[in-house]
Amino acid sequence: MIKLDKITKTYYNFRRNKKNALEGIDLCVSEGEMVAIVGSSGAGKSTLLNILGGIDRPNSGHYYFDNKLIEFKAHRLAHFRRNNIGFIVQDHALIDDMTAYDNIALPLKYRSMNKAQIEKRVMDIAYYLNIKDQLYNYPTQLSGGECQRIAIARAIINKPRLILADEPTGSLDSQNKRNVMSIFKDIHRNSTTIIVTHDYEIANTCHRVVELNNGRITKH
């Protein structure tokens, strides 16, 4: 499903000093696979995730999705993200002045779905994730675990082919970590899932662990 071929990403600091965030990354991920990406801070994990999600562009190399070369042009990347990618981040990134329902429904509104279709999709996913009672609360009224479930619901509401999760359990207690990973194990049956994490306990529950060190894959 995913193939990265010699992906390199370079940044320059304010002194124009060069830093290679990724160096010649080769990686294949099969459809339905659940993969953890681990490594120390600055290893290139988030950069890799952003390239996979079409948020960032590599300086060189090729990215194939379903055997099709991804063109790193703004309008094509927007279409690619909207139709294939679901993002989940550590701090939930929910909109505080919108209810949980509206946060979840937001991606559907961008696809111009009608109100009845949106309501059915949101209620179905809320039932699935056991968050029906929280739908009309605001994020500030919810616990960390509840906010993360809302964020997961928003990420999968469009039934994405690829779910990208950046430290999705980093701010959660042990019980909520287990709950969230249980959800990931369930949803990856319909979506390929890639999780960036510092937590090897979480990583070892995945099918495969990919280790990054100074922008290079040292284990996969």
Query: How many Å is the Cα radius of gyration of the chain?
Result: 18
144: helix, coil or strand? helix
pTM for the predicted model, two decimal places: 0.91
Strand partners, 162: 85, 192
DSSP character for 15? T
Residue 36 pLDDT exceeds 80: yes
CA of residue 37 relative to chain centroid, distance: 12
- pLDDT level of residue 41 (50, 70, 90 thresholds): confident
Q: Which domains does the chain have, with CATH numbers?
A: 30-57+84-219 (3.40.50.300)
Residue 193: half-sphere exposure toward Cβ, Cα within 13 Å: 29
Q: What is the DSSP string of 132-143?
A: GGGTTS-GGGS-
What single letter denotes the amino acid at residue 45? K
The three-class DSSP label of residue 21 is strand
Q: Is 56 helix (H, G, I), strand (E, B) or coil?
A: coil
| Cβ neighbours, 10 Å, residue 46 | 18
Q: What is the pLDDT of residues 132-156, one digit of tens each?
A: 999 999 999 999 889 999 999 999 9
Q: How far is the C-alpha of 39 from the C-alpha of 18, rounded, in Å?
A: 21
Q: What is the pLDDT of residue 14?
A: 66
Instruction: State residue 180's pLDDT score.
Output: 83
Record the tokens describing residue 9, joined without a space: 């990403």
pLDDT tens figures, 159-201: 899 999 998 888 778 888 888 888 888 876 778 999 999 888 8
Supply the mean pLDDT for the chain: 90
Contacts of 112 (CB under 8 A, 6+ apart): none
